[in-house]
Amino acid sequence: MTRLPIFPLILRCAAIVASGCVVAIFVNLARPDGLPLLLGRVPCPGVPVAWWTRLEHVDPAQAYALWQQRTALFVDARPHEDYIFNHLPGALEMPYRDFSRAHREFADLLEGASLIIIYDAGERPCAEAVRVTKRLFGSRIALLRGGYPAWESAGYPVKGGHDRGEVGKTP
């Protein structure tokens, strides 16, 4: 058996590890749900800078004006239990964990919408909303800054309960 000198062996191992890291970085950058490589630049943990900067953001006052004019479709990305407790009147219930069912149910409304505003619980900025946003690519989408808590604290209308006849209709 031939023994290689230790330095060339270490050099080969380092080259293999470095090439693996380079491949991993490019794969991570290509995925919409990749980890952020530049910490502190995106207020939403786990969202790549490229995704965050492409998203449109609206504050509660802008969203309220669009809600009053009925020119936007609102999507609640929070869990089902939160939606039942309170939600924006007319908002579609599309929790991330049950997205496929909700998307099938509301496909016609989503395709016909000129603007979709997605909101979440606002605790970890945009966690649920961005996940739903990624699944609705191709539409004009905006995130509500601060999510549902920002809407509610601004004193805008909310609705409790789960009235299936109400879900999917504009306000």
Cβ–Cβ < 8 Å for 161, 84: yes
Q: What is the pLDDT of residues 41-71, one digit of tens each?
A: 555 655 666 666 777 889 999 999 999 999 8
Percent of all residues in the chain with a pLDDT value above 70, rounded to a whole number: 66
Q: What is the pLDDT of residues 19-41, one digit of tens each?
A: 988 888 777 766 655 665 654 45
The pLDDT value given to residue 168: 41
Q: Which residue segments constitute the domains of the chain, with CATH numbers given?
A: 49-153 (3.40.250.10)
| Highest mean pLDDT pick, 4-13, 37-46, 126-135 | 4-13
What pTM did the predictor assign?
Answer: 0.65
